[in-house]
Amino acid sequence: MQLLLMGPPGAGKGTQAAELVKKFSIPQISTGDMFRAAVKEGTELGKKAEACMKSGTLVPDEVTIGIVRERLAKDDCKNGFILDGFPRTVEQADALAKILDELGKKLTRVLNIHVPAEDLIERAVGRRICKGCGATYHVKFNPPKKNSTCDNCGGELYQRADDNEQTMTTRLSTYESSTRPLIDYYKKVGVYTEIDGRQPIAKVTEDLVKVLSSVKD
């Protein structure tokens, strides 16, 4: 199953991808996570991505497409994958179509998690992530049982550097100009489904699973 989770920053893509990974045993491919790991390790890729991430703009297409091409060719993607945060431009979507063609695969579904703009800043600013296992929490909507500690692994929670109001404003306008056009793009391809992301996390998962139980790979 080749899935694509779409939606604006803070819509719940990472949260839902984690549930779908458990349910379908296919990997989550998050370009944001890959860039953050590269920044932390201080690699060449990290150096190319860091300034864009800090300001809330997009990392250049040629850089982003290159890392996805490499990642999708890996063995663990043979039975499918969940793309989270890629593609974000029409050029990336065209490149993805080419990569999938080369691999002899097709997109099974594009699942767009719809959340209105007015909810997104609060979601991002309240987001907390586990340093150990990467689990995502929210200070109000999905708090850990013990303050600042991960329920799964006991790891320390941190706040992403770009999860502040100022960077979020840029990320949201970047989404509007570069990524929103992909909704029509995938409607035309005929694999598009919209999910109401304003519901509680478990209900969003339920809706996603319901859609996926009726699609053919």
Catalytic residue set: 13, 88, 127, 160, 171
In the list ligand ADP, ligand AMP, none, the entry touching 186 (Cβ below 5 to 8 angstroms by class) is none
Instruction: Tell me whether residue 9 or residue 27 sits nearer to ligand ADP (CB atom).
Output: 9
Instruction: Tell me whether residue 103 or residue 139 sits nearer to ligand ADP (CB atom).
Output: 139
| Interface ranges with ligand AMP (CB under 6 A) | 9, 31-32, 35, 52-53, 56, 58-59, 64, 85-86, 88, 92, 171
**Binding of residue 150 to ligand ADP (CB under 6 A):** no
Q: Segment near ligand ADP (CB under 6 A), from 57-65, 101-109, 122-130, 171-179?
A: 122-130
Residue 191 Cα to chain centre, angstroms: 18
Q: Do 125 and 163 form a contact (C-beta atoms < 8 A)?
A: yes
Q: Which positions ≥6 away from 199 have C-beta within 8 Å?
A: 207
Report the C-alpha gap between 110 and 121 in whole angstroms. 24
Interacting positions 161-200 with ligand ADP (CB under 6 A): 197, 199-200
Report the C-alpha gap between 185 and 200 in whole angstroms. 28
Instruction: Tell me whether residue 35 or residue 81 sits nearer to ligand AMP (CB atom).
Output: 35
Q: Which residues pair with 127 in a beta bridge?
A: 138
Near ligand ADP by CB under 6 A: residue from 150, 204, 208, 212: 204
* CA R_g for the chain: 16
Report the C-alpha gap between 124 and 128 in whole angstroms. 9
Instruction: Tell me whether residue 140 or residue 188 sits nearer to ligand ADP (CB atom).
Output: 140
